[in-house]
Amino acid sequence: MKNLQLYLEKLKQGHMISEELLPCFQFYQFHKGDFILHQGQQLEILYILIDGKIKTCHTTSNGIISLLAICQSMSVIGEIEFLNHQDVINDIYAIDECLCLGISIKNYEHLLLNDLSFMRYLATTTSQKLYNANQNSSISKNYPVENRLASYLIACAENKIIQENFVQVAEMIGCSYRQLQRVLNDFCEKKYIQKTKRSQFLIIHYDALSKLGQDLYYI
**pTM for the predicted model, two decimal places:** 0.83
| CATH 1.10.10.10 in the chain, residue ranges | 144-213
3-state secondary structure of 32: coil
Q: Considering only CA atoms, which of 84, 218, 91, 216 is closest in space to residue 144?
A: 216
User: Which DSSP helix (H) or strand (E) runs through 76?
Assistant: strand 76-77
Please name the CATH architecture into which domain 2-139 falls.
Answer: Sandwich (2.60)
Residue 39 near residue 90 (C-beta atoms within 8 A): yes
Cα-trace Rg, the chain: 19
What fold does the segment set 144-213 form as a domain? Arc Repressor Mutant, subunit A (1.10.10)
Q: List pLDDT tens digits, range 17-72.
A: 888 888 899 999 999 999 999 999 999 999 999 989 999 999 988 888 888 888 88
Identify the burial level of 43 via C-beta atoms within 10 angstroms of its C-beta, where 0-12 means exposed, 13-18 middle and 19 or more buried.
buried
Q: List pLDDT tens digits, range 142-189.
A: 789 999 999 999 988 888 999 999 999 998 888 899 999 999 999 999
| CATH 2.60.120.10 in the chain, residue ranges | 2-139
